[in-house]
Structure 1
């Protein structure tokens, strides 16, 4: 769906800050499934955490990404209106993670049915702003490896990857909106 726009890229590359800036400007946004899952699993003592069970985490992220899309498609959440919806990561990210963890071929079948805008905005590795936190325990080298997988996964599913420049968050948001013609 053309109005569903993914902001993906390197973990710790400023995706969530960028999506928050788009929300501040009045655009509809969807929070990253991974962070929501980590918060839920940590609060409940669950094991679907990327550092405990990556496959379970990726499956939960796929389910959450599908539920997010379904809620938007059916109009269950009237706050989203008819304009663009910016996703902090999406289904492709989760499916790529599951394929990496298990070798299970889920990416192409899911991507064929559940489409996003053909432009995917990728935040590049940015060591100067990368930081670990309770929800991001992996190191920068793991973030780089994930980024490389995503750089391959999105084009393989027919998406055009648009690198987001390393600049201020306001300039990054302007860049995305201008590239979308908004």
Structure 2
């Protein structure tokens, strides 16, 4: 399994950086948003321990194992937390866990309520995907969202993902209940 060296990327007014322990309070506050809990796979209800476990444990471990690269999206000037973007479920060309040239990954994101409608997530996803296709040399990036999550779909379309015309019935990652998902793919 490959490791991923954490990187920071500044693109205009946005700065993408790995999560830091000091981010837990901001993550906890933002993830109280019912829309984030409704449409993402974060635990619901979302507790302070969930935020701490993510920024202190899971995110650094994912970088270390090369299985995911999760970024805080902050305002490049003020440092305000605006969103989260990441490449998760990174796999080598044979489908084994871990990043490798020719492999793939799945994009995931959420946006703080205060940053919605400003193009923050679309810009961050575009930057993330350029990094995924550039230095990581991924062959494709997958996207998935619960049907009805129009905001996520708009981001994916604007970022260039080809959306499959028919939803797929899949187990929801949070509880295993079968639900309908939109899926898409982005190629370099």
With normalisation by structure 2, the TM-score equals 0.33
Higher strand share: 2
Higher relative contact order structure (alpha carbons within 8 Å, sequence separation ≥ 6): 1
